[in-house]
Amino acid sequence: MVKPFHRHESRHLLETPIFKLRQDVASHPGTGHTGHYVVLESPDWVNVVALTEAGEVILVRQWRHGTRSVELEIPAGLVDAGEDPMHAAARELREETGYVPARMRMLGNVAPNAAYQDNTCWTVLAEGCRLEAATDFDAGEDLEVEVVSEDALWAAVRAGEIRNGMVICGLFWWQDARQRGAL
């Protein structure tokens, strides 16, 4: 049976406005081997699979510094400290797209990279979305909203135009719920 490692010490190596980089000294419960392990402490974030009243999918196109390219994604964002992921999903959807959902439900969550990140990515389904507000981007955001058919969505995934792993995971949660008859 796999057992937890014993953490002997922990210290922050770097703190940024979005994450902290932590180094732990921990020992293997079976062998006693002691090693240094790096953990990225990051806020939870939320993905939103947003559907209009006509069943179209709301996407956003934006610059991503990590890939140094413009990426096509579903609306998403950080969950503020103490904020419920459902509230964060509605807030991010409205801020990034101006759309407001008629109803929402939690689809699932994942650990984005359990090897060295400590956060959770939640995926929320927002249905019956209507354009009701102006966008309200953060100072560093520049997004274009695209509303596409479901066929166009899957074509974009297959073509590699949608390639963010957490976006594809969110789309999986949506398809899984549909296949199980949970929607």
5-35 residue pLDDT tens: 999 999 999 999 999 999 999 999 999 999 9
In this prediction, residue 129 has a pLDDT band, given cuts at 50, 70 and 90, of very high
Is the pLDDT at 3 greater than 90, yes or no? yes
pLDDT at residue 183 is higher than 90: no
Q: How far apart are the first and last CA of the chain?
A: 37
Q: What would the mean pLDDT of 147-176 be, rounded to a whole number?
A: 97
Q: Indicate the length of the chain as a whole number.
A: 183
Residue in 152, 136, 43 with CA at minimum distance from that of residue 92: 136
What structural domains and CATH numbers belong to the chain? Answer: 6-41 (no CATH), 45-179 (3.90.79.10)
The torsion region of residue 12 among left (phi > 0), alpha (psi -120 to 50) and beta comes to beta
pLDDT at 125 over 90: yes
Task: Give me the mean pLDDT over the 108-117 stretch.
Answer: 96
Q: Residue 39: what pLDDT? A: 97
Which of 100-104, 135-139, 178-182 reaches the highest mean pLDDT?
100-104
Check if the beta carbon of residue 84 is closer than 8 Å to that of residue 175: no
Q: Which two tokens stand for residue 100?
A: 């407001």
| pTM listed for this prediction | 0.93
CA distances from 174 to 7, 177, 179 (A): 37, 5, 9
Tell which wins on pLDDT, 108 or 141.
108
Residue 116 structure tokens: 């060295």
Phi first, then psi: give them for residue 79, nearest 5 degrees. -90, 120
> Residues 121, 160: contact at Cβ < 8 Å?
no
Token representation of residue 106: 């939690």
- Cα(153)–Cα(119) distance, rounded to whole angstroms? 27
Confidence of residue 137 (pLDDT cuts 50, 70, 90): confident
Q: Parallel, antiparallel, or unpaired: how do β-strands 143-148 and 57-64 relate?
A: antiparallel
Q: What is the pLDDT of residues 46-73, one digit of tens each?
A: 999 999 999 999 999 999 999 999 999 9
Beta pairing partners, 74: none
Token digits of residue 171: 């789309």
Mean pLDDT of the chain: 96
